Amino acid sequence: MVNKIYNPLILKFFLALFLISFFLLGWLFFPFLSIIIMSCVVTGIFSPVYRFLKKRLNQYVASFLTCTIIFLILFIPIIICLALLSKEAYGVYLMGKDAASGEQLKNFLQTNRLIEKGIQLAKNLHLNINAQQIYDGIAEIGKTIGFFIFKQSSAIVSNLFQFFVNFFFMLLIVFFLLVDGPSLVSFIIDISPLPKEEDEKLIQKFKDMVGAMIVGNGAAGLIQGIGGGTLFALFGLDSPFLWGVVMVFLAFLPLIGIGLIFVPAIIYLFLNDRVISAVFFIISYVVLSIGSENILKPKLIGDRVQMHTLLVFLSIIGGLKLFGIAGIIYGPLVVTAFLTLTDIYQANYQKIVEPE
């Protein structure tokens, strides 16, 4: 047998072919990227259910039953919520678009004493502000928010077949991830040029971040959204379901959170001389915010994720701008990958790159 002499050119040629094939594979799967990522997230959330069923059933049967549970828990409620959301969002959009529908608000802004004093104070400071400008600003905000939410929700409802197909693809991927997920993770670790412990650290950080964003922030957001929407309904404010859903997503944002909805509502109640209602809203806002941020989230998240509040805020805002609603998850994942790689660099490679 003739021994082959090692030739660096062969390795370079192989790496070039490998990178080309990797690029083509990414290009091939790119249209399904969001579905794949969401499948990984859903798999992580429902994997305890699968493990529980797997103790009693065949792995394929357990995976199928888990996917059935996912369909019942996610698909049907999502469709119902989108239908209600689309209806209320369209109402808010019309309110902002049609000046006639806002006559009550316009009259209120023109006759309220506190607003008159505020406008007078602004004039004393040489600021040209009047009731009509305030009304136009509120109407434009309402129209923009309402139209955005209406467009997003109605697009899904009107393309129900496409949504169902995407959801089916997600369930199909989840089915095989539940069964073959550990083997896939082992395969990725084996072909990765990084040491095994570094790959495991990256994967664990992703798991922790998904758990924190979905389980921790998701549960806290759901509680705040349900509580806020219920208050809006009890006190007769318009579109309680819409604002409840908005608060669910705003709860993911640190520093600001549901205050973006509660503070204007409190001001509105005060201006309408509903002082007791406004005070109750303030108490409810403090209880929901402090209870979620300082009691619920720490218990659910613990010390698994350590990220600066400003980084969380910027990652979510940037993710929303780049990826839409899914950016709530994607943005923090990108930052998590960077911070984890930074830790690995400082621990293992900084001394090599920057020798003393």
Give the helix/strand (H/E) hosting 67: helix 59-70
Domain spans of the chain, in order of start: 34-180, 192-349
CB 244 within 8 A of CB 228: yes
DSSP, collapsed to helix, strand or coil, labels residue 307 as coil
Question: Residues with Cβ < 8 Å from 261, sequence gap 6 or more?
Answer: 228, 243, 246, 247, 250
Q: What is the pLDDT of residues 304-354, one digit of tens each?
A: 566 777 777 888 888 878 877 777 777 887 887 788 778 777 777 767 766
Angle among Cα 328, 332, 336 to the nearest 5 degrees reads 160
Tens digit of pLDDT at every position of the chain (356 positions): 445 555 678 878 888 898 899 899 889 988 888 888 888 888 888 888 999 998 888 889 999 999 999 998 888 787 777 777 666 666 665 555 554 445 555 555 555 555 556 556 666 666 666 555 555 555 566 556 656 665 655 555 566 677 788 888 999 999 999 988 888 888 888 887 777 777 777 777 777 777 666 777 777 788 888 888 888 888 888 778 878 888 888 877 777 778 888 887 887 777 777 788 888 888 888 888 877 777 766 666 655 566 777 777 888 888 878 877 777 777 887 887 788 778 777 777 767 766 65
**Side-chain-side CA neighbours of residue 43 (13 Å):** 22
Report the predicted TM-score, pTM, of the whole model to 2 decimal places. Answer: 0.66
Q: What is the pLDDT of residues 182-219, one digit of tens each?
A: 888 888 888 877 777 777 777 777 777 776 667 777 77
Question: Helices then strands (H, E): number in the chain?
Answer: 17, 0
